[in-house]
Amino acid sequence: MDWILREQGFDKERIAANGNKFMIGNGYMGYRGTMEEFTREELTATTLAGLYDRVDGKWREPVNAPNGLFTRLEWEGTPLGVLTGGAGAGAGVELLEHEQQLDIRRAVHRRRTVFRVPSGAAEERRVTLTAERFCSAERLNLLAAKLTVQSSADGELVIRTGIDGEVWDINGPHLEGLAGREAEGSLLLAGMTRELKVPVAVAETASFNVGEQVVSTTSGSPIREIRIPCRAGETYTIYKYAAVFTGLDGTGDAGEAALRLSREAAGLGYESLLKEHAAKWEEKWSRADVVIEGDEEAQLALRYSLYQLLIIAPEHSEKLSIPARGLSGQVYKGAVFWDTEMFMLPFFLYTQPETARNLMMYRIHTLDGARRKAAEYGYEGAFYAWESQETGDDACTLFNVNDVFTGRPMRTYFRDKQVHISADVAYGIWQYYSFTGDDSILLNGGAETVWECAKFFYSYAYFNPGKQRYEILDVTGPDEYHERVNNNAFTNALVKRALYIALEAMDFLRANDPEQYETLVKRSAIQPEQVRDLHDRLYVPQPDAKTKLIEQFDRYYTLEDVPLPELKSRVLNKNEYWGGGNGLATTTQILKQADVVLMLHLFQNHYDRETKKANWEYYEPRTEHGSSLSSCIYALVAADIGSSEWAYPYFLRTATIDLTGDSKQYVGDLYIGGTHPAANGGAWMAAVLGFAGISFDGSTVSIKPSMPHKWQAVELPLILRGQSFKVRVMPTGVVVEAGADNNEAVAFKLGTHEVQVAPGEKAQVDL
């Protein structure tokens, strides 16, 4: 099967979408899928993970480094570029062929463009440019590129290549004192962030065997000009090695480090760097790939989703998590949302537990930010940021959306009221612990974190004396169109789970680190017995005895029950916000995204099939799927109830979101385009947890397939409790092979058969 995405021809309208779709990255940085000749206007970005900056009181956002791969061509004085007639291409130039490619197996981006160049001669003259690039998976600070140029006639070719300081910024520019220079044949562009003065440097070393070079610095950007007296039919090749360092890397002077790496890379050469990069990717895929037999479209879409997760996974650092738009730019402030715990974490838990650990350690490292937020609102414990950056302080503003009609900022309550975030964090930490058995995470801040989350809920909850129960009032659940509601079923259920987790974690601590336990309890106004009481008497909305429906929140049923198409017919502006005080959906039962249904997925063993089916059927027609986090959940629950054909379209919608670029681009006047890692993780969940029906409860792996009719088999690797397995799931049976290096047997429940799969053994069961 093909691992290469291809797009033929050039369409100006797709510049932003293709920048996302053809992205490369390595967890340290993301490099958008733009053309070599592009600059700021075409949204060029080398987005750095975990480095944020604020300019002139505007919102903080990630920093884009200068573009070390910038390159433009000129043929006989005429600029060549895909934007014919626009910036970068001169009059008379025509685009004869253009193809953009992404090899997702090796994470390599390619383009090939053939230009017709003006000539007085009778015969047509062509210049062909090919370029290939990758963001090294072995040396995270390195980008490498290879460019070739060929012409059909003799003539002078000028290649301008270097480091472009003019890159895409929403609220920038973020680097001050940006100064470019030549340093013994290499180029360097360095500056520092405006807010925290963190140095950022990009160095570039190029190697080529023809032409003379002259370096100039145009508005701060060091660019070399290489003049090549071109001979017809000859191929001219340039290799570029761009290294990006920041003051956060701990490598001393960022500029020196960048120069050192770019020169070292040049010394090693492109092919050998590509080889080590490809070997890393081979290894990544061997641990992650899911093979789907019988459905090419689903196969490519799922692999692409996994590619997206793999290029942004912070394998190298426990100070990073994954922002809601990955490393595709600065959208959503580069902030980390609940998306990570609820939608991406499962993929990492089952395939790369070390990365799952990093993601959860990020929450532990940002606990102080969550404490500050709780204190700011007058609560105890830890209230995690709805939009979290490097310190855990909330980047979410009180006015997150502008009203398209009045232009005025709207008061939104994502920051104040989406309290489920603290339960999501506790849930994630506990998932990591039960999947891996790695109790070091509990001892090193995990238990404290979940305890702090429980304290927050204790201080937030309301005791209803009439009903002798605790309630959680004035919250926003996953469905953001209904703000400030009471007893949101999802929130209450997850908080109850978080309280249970906190009590378990504290028991663990008392037994394994009594000193830490004592300290936590002693300095707390809230005691474990109180948390237990809250847990035991917390109200969680239950299914109605007759209809089996669970009301999304108190009095949800009293809202207008308008069909979705009718609500859509009321829209006056395609970007208007449906939630908030005055939104179209606010007074209706229309929801933005899976809410009760998400709860049914998370607690799938607590509810019977009828309840899941009744709620799926009730809520689905009322769901806008206005968030990319929605469809995968409907796919999961449909598969869970055995309706894989219902599930399939939701799976495909989730898995193709970044291939088609078909997603909301604006909320109000806020641009929200970019990649969708939560949907990417959701695609994996729908395929593996949904269709292949795999689930792990910390001791037993259950496999109960519910596959779309055309799927003949799903094959994938798993790592559970440090033991690796290869699993093949078919509608008619399951085969599990345990790694020969495993050191213990793991229990599998295949359909109704229970088996222990010992190291090196194979279990096969017909269903």
Q: Per CB under 6 A, does 678 bind ligand BGC? A: yes
DSSP for 598-658, please give it. Answer: HHHHHTGGGS-HHHHHHHHHHHGGGB---STTSHHHHHHHHHHTT-HHHHHHHHHHHHTHH
Q: What is the DSSP letter of 488?
A: -
Tokens 């053309």 correspond to what residue? 35
Q: Do 680 and 344 touch, CB atoms closer than 8 A?
A: yes
Asked if residue 338 binds ligand BGC (CB under 6 A), the reply is: yes
CA angle, 327 as apex, 683 and 632 as ends, to 5°?
15
Written in H, E and C, the secondary structure of 103-155 is ECCCCEEEEEEEEEECCCCCCCEEEEEEEEEEECCCCCCEEEEEEEEEECCCE
CA dihedral 656, 652, 340, 417 (to 10 degrees): 110
- Site track 26-55 with ligand BGC (rule: CB under 6 A), x = hit: ------------------------------
Contact between 428 and ligand BGC per CB under 6 A: no
CB of 553 to ligand BGC, least distance (A): 16
Of residues 566-625, which lie at the interface with ligand BGC (CB under 6 A)?
592-593
User: Which long-range contacts does 367-373 make (Cβ < 8 Å, 24+ apart)?
Assistant: 367/392, 367/445, 367/448, 367/449, 367/452, 368/392, 369/393, 369/394, 370/422, 370/425, 370/452, 370/453, 370/456, 371/452
Residues near ligand BGC (CB under 6 A), total: 11
- Is 193 a residue that touches ligand BGC (CB under 6 A)? no
Q: What is the Cα–Cα distance from 95 to 171, expressed in whole angstroms?
A: 34
> Does residue 410 touch ligand BGC according to CB under 6 A?
no
Considering the rule CB under 6 A, would residue 627 count as an interface residue with ligand BGC? yes
Name the residue nearer to ligand BGC (CB basis): 106 or 325. Answer: 325
Q: Does position 629 bind ligand BGC by CB under 6 A?
A: yes
> Residue 312 interacts with ligand BGC (CB under 6 A)?
no
Letter for the amino acid at 552? Answer: Q
Q: Which of 345, 367, 393, 340 is nearest to 447 (CA)?
A: 367
Q: Does 480 bind ligand BGC (CB under 6 A)?
A: yes
Encoded one letter per residue, x for contact with ligand BGC by CB under 6 A and - for no contact, window 318-337 reads: ------x------------x
Q: Taking the complex as a whole, how short is the minimal distance between the CB of residue 629 and ligand BGC, in angstroms?
A: 5
Q: Is 480 a catalytic residue?
A: yes
Q: How far apart are CA 590 and CA 704, in angstroms?
A: 32
Q: Give residues with Cβ within 8 angstroms of 270, minimum separation 6.
A: 144, 146, 239, 241
Between residues 431 and 627, which has the closer beta carbon with respect to ligand BGC? 627
CB of 630 to ligand BGC, least distance (A): 8
Nearest to 78 by CA among 14, 163, 151, 148: 151
Comparison of 16 and 324: residue with beta carbon closer to ligand BGC: 324
- For residues 664 and 656, give the distance between their C-alpha atoms in angstroms, rounded to a whole number: 14
Please, what is the minimum distance in Å from the beta carbon of residue 385 to ligand BGC? Answer: 12
Q: Is 478 in the site for ligand BGC (CB under 6 A)?
A: yes
- In the complex, least distance from residue 412 CB atom to ligand BGC, rounded to whole angstroms: 11
Looking at beta carbons only, is 136 or 308 nearer to ligand BGC? Answer: 308
In angstroms, give the least distance from the CB of 245 to ligand BGC: 30
Q: Beta partners for 176? A: 192
Q: Which is nearer to ligand BGC, 664 or 710 (CB)?
A: 664
Q: Give me the least distance between CB of 683 and ligand BGC, in Å please.
A: 15
Q: List the one residue out of 327, 132, 103, 331 whose CA is nearest residue 239.
A: 132
Least CB distance to ligand BGC at residue 420 (A): 10
Alpha helices, DSSP H, located in 483-562: 489-512, 514-522, 528-537
Q: Assess contact for 758 and 740: CB atoms under 8 A.
A: no
Amino acid in the structure at residue 346: P
3-state secondary structure 428-486: HHHHHHHHHCCCHHHHHHHHHHHHHHHHHHHHHCEEECCCCEEECCCECCCCCCCCCEC
- Work out whether strand 142-151 and strand 235-246 pair parallel, antiparallel, or are unpaired: antiparallel
Smallest gap from residue 494 Cβ to ligand BGC (A): 14
Q: Which of 74, 315, 480, 624 is catalytic?
A: 480
Whether the ω angle into residue 677 lies within 30 degrees of 0, i.e. cis, is: no
Q: Considering beta carbons, is residue 629 or 689 the nearer one to ligand BGC? A: 629
In angstroms, what is the minimal distance from the CB of 593 to ligand BGC?
Answer: 6
> Coil, strand or helix: which one is 202?
strand
Among 37, 339, 394, 658, binds ligand BGC (CB under 6 A): 339
CB 682 to ligand BGC: min, Å: 11
| 488 belongs to the binding site for ligand BGC (CB under 6 A) | no
657 binds ligand BGC per the rule CB under 6 A? no
The type of residue at 81 is G
Count of C-beta atoms within a 10 Å radius of residue 766: 10
**Cβ at position 69, least distance to ligand BGC in Å:** 29
Based on its alpha-carbon atoms, the radius of gyration of the chain, rounded to whole angstroms, reads 27
Nearest to ligand BGC of 249, 339 (CB atom): 339
Distance (Å) of CA 711 to CA 292, 557, 730:
7, 39, 8
Nearer to ligand BGC among residue 131 and residue 396 (C-beta): 396
Q: Given the complex with ligand BGC, which of 17 and 594 has the nearer CB atom? A: 594
Is residue 490 a contact point for ligand BGC (CB under 6 A)? no
Please give the biggest Cα pair distance in the chain: 94
The whole-angstrom separation of Cα 491 and Cα 498 is 10
**Which residues participate in catalysis according to the annotation?**
480
Binding positions for ligand BGC, rule: CB under 6 A: 324, 337-339, 478, 480, 592-593, 627, 629, 678
